[in-house]
């Protein structure tokens, strides 16, 4: 293990266990103040051939996330120095879009929703099973390269993922964080029917949420913003199926 005492950072890789550094499947920054949990997570990930850097405080973690080149961040929310919310929000605001897996003892629905809305890509509640955590890491790292495009375009609609701005023609559209995430999901799937279950699972990360109008409320708000009275409608309902974002010629 290599430890930088000035930065509060531990760097551990498969190479520390007599493995070749060329076998690394990815470089991960773990920001976690619980040393026992950090050790367990680190051991699990290096056993799967990842290189792991561990920051013990939020302040050190935020600094390292900016200066290091990481394939994935694992971020606890309740951290000394700078909490996980501030870290994730700051990175996204600065245009840093490395995947973030949130881990936290905060398991209420509102906590999970907030963690995802500020820019987390997935959320795991403590206590968690290490194989599940590793599986979520692998799933995030399998995301296709095209998911990293900085600007999405569907017809006259444009979404800038760096500036976090939506435009239709010469009109700028003001979106909330959840509306932005919802529109991004549709714009990656133009002319494809998207069901409510898909949106609940992929946008809000709910496996099962019966009798909710969450999707319809957000769709209604988004539709009113992107489809003005003078525009040809892009976001349409498909009876009995879901919704579709049309790519007009």
Closest C-alpha to 84, from 123, 43, 36? 123
What pLDDT score does 53 carry?
94
Q: Are 48 and 101 in contact (CB under 8 A)?
A: no
223 in the same domain as 133: no
Judged against a pLDDT cut of 70, whether residue 6 lies above it is answered with no
- 40 and 155 co-located in one domain: no
Of the residues 123, 143, 163, which one is the last residue of a structural domain? 143
Asked which of 116, 143, 170 is the last residue of a domain, the reply is: 143
| pLDDT, mean of residues 221-242 | 91
Block residue for tokens 């500020």: 118
pTM score, whole prediction: 0.56
Residues 63, 119 within the same domain: yes
Q: Which two tokens stand for residue 210?
A: 């019966």
> pLDDT for 86-118, tens place per residue?
999 999 888 788 899 999 999 888 888 888 888
**Buried-state track 220-235, b at ≥16 Cβ within 10 A, e below 16:** eebeebbbeeeeeebb
One domain, residues 55 and 166: no
Q: Do 230 and 151 belong together in one domain?
A: yes
Contact between residue 80 and residue 47 where contact means Cβ atoms under 8 Å apart? no
Domain that holds residue 91: 2-143
Q: For residue range 174-221, what is the model confidence (pLDDT) as tens digits?
A: 999 889 999 988 988 888 899 988 898 888 877 666 678 899 999 999
Where is average pLDDT lowest: 2-6, 70-74, 106-110?
Answer: 2-6
């Amino acid at each position: 293990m290599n430890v930088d005492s000035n930065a509060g950072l531990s760097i551990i890789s498969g190479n520390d266990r007599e493995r070749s550094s060329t076998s690394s499947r990815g470089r991960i920054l773990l920001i976690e103040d619980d040393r026992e949990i950090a050790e367990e997570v680190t051991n699990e990930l290096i056993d799967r051939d990842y290189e792991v850097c561990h920051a013990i405080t939020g302040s050190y973690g935020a600094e390292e996330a900016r200066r290091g080149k990481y394939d994935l961040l694992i971020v606890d929310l309740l951290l000394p120095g700078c909490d996980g919310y501030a870290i994730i929000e700051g990175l996204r605001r600065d245009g840093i879009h490395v995947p973030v897996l949130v881990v936290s003892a905060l398991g209420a629905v509102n906590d999970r929703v907030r963690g995802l809305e500020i820019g987390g890509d997935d959320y795991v509640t403590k206590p968690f099973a290490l194989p599940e955590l590793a599986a979520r890491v692998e799933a995030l790292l399998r995301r296709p390269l095209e998911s990293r495009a900085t600007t999405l375009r569907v017809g006259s609609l444009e979404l800038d993922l760096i500036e976090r701005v939506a435009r239709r023609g010469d009109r700028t559209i003001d979106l909330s964080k959840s509306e932005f995430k919802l529109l991004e999901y549709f714009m990656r799937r133009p002319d494809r029917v998207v069901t409510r279950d898909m949106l609940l699972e992929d946008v809000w990360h709910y496996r099962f949420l019966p009798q909710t109008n969450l999707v319809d409320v957000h769709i209604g708000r988004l539709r009113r913003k992107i489809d003005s009275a003078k525009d040809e409608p892009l976001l349409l309902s498909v009876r009995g199926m879901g919704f579709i974002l049309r790519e007009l010629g």
